[in-house]
A = this chain, B = another copy of it.
Amino acid sequence: MSEHNRRILLAARPEGMIKESDFRMETVAVEKPGDGEVLVRNEYLSLDPAMRGWMTDRPSYIPPVQLGEVMRGGTVGEVLESKHPDFKAGDKVRAMGGWQDYVVSKPDGRLMKLPEGLPIPITAHLSVLGITGLTAYFGLLDVGQPKEGETVVVSTAAGAVGSIVGQIAKIKGCRAVGLTSTDAKCTWIKEELGYDAAINYKTEEISPALAQHCPKGIDVYFDNVGGEILNAALGQINFKGRVAICGAITQYNATKMPPGPSNYLNLLVKSARMEGFIVMNYLDRAMEGAMQLGQWLMEGKLKYKEEIVDNLENAPTAILRLFNSSNTGKLIVKI
Which residues does A use to contact B, with CB under 8 Å?
59-61, 226, 231, 245-248, 251, 257-278, 281
Q: How far is the CA of A269 from the CA of B276 in the complex (A)?
A: 7
Given known pairs A245-B267, A267-B245, the reply for A262 and B257 (CB within 8 Å) is yes
Q: Are A251 and B265 in contact (CB under 8 A)?
A: yes
Residues of B within 8 A of A246 (CB): 268
A-B pairs with the 8 shortest C-beta distances?
A260-B260, A259-B259, A268-B276, A267-B276, A273-B275, A260-B261, A260-B264, A257-B262
Q: Are A274 and B281 in contact (CB under 8 A)?
A: no
Instruction: For A61, give its contact among B261, B269, B278 (CB under 8 Å).
Output: B269
Q: Are B268 and A264 in contact (CB under 8 A)?
A: no
Q: How far is the CA of A263 from the CA of B231 in the complex (A)?
A: 14
Q: How far is the CA of A278 from the CA of B240 in the complex (A)?
A: 11
Q: Are B278 and A271 in contact (CB under 8 A)?
A: yes
Q: Are A247 and B275 in contact (CB under 8 A)?
A: no
Instruction: For A264, give its contact among B264, B271, B277, B281 (CB under 8 Å).
Output: B264
* Residue of B with least CB distance to A60: B269
Q: Are B276 and A275 in contact (CB under 8 A)?
A: no
- Least distance between A29 CB and chain B CB atoms (Å): 37
Q: Are B271 and A272 in contact (CB under 8 A)?
A: no
- Least distance between A324 CB and chain B CB atoms (Å): 21
* Residue of B with least CB distance to A58: B269
Instruction: For A261, give its contact among B264, B268, B273 (CB under 8 Å).
Output: B264
Q: How far is the CA of A261 from the CA of B258 in the complex (A)?
A: 9
- Least distance between A223 CB and chain B CB atoms (Å): 9
Q: How far is the CA of A277 from the CA of B248 in the complex (A)?
A: 25
Question: Which residue, A263, A273, A281, has most C-beta atoms of chain B within 10 A?
Answer: A273
Question: Which residue, A59, A60, A265, has most C-beta atoms of chain B within 10 A?
Answer: A265
Instruction: For A278, give its contact among B231, B257, B265, B268 (CB under 8 Å).
Output: B268
Given known pairs A275-B273, A276-B272, the reply for A262 and B258 (CB within 8 Å) is yes
Q: How far is the CA of A260 from the CA of B274 in the complex (A)?
A: 13
Q: How far is the CA of A261 from the CA of B267 in the complex (A)?
A: 13
Q: How far is the CA of A246 from the CA of B268 in the complex (A)?
A: 7
Q: Are B274 and A248 in contact (CB under 8 A)?
A: no
Q: How far is the CA of A258 from the CA of B265 in the complex (A)?
A: 10
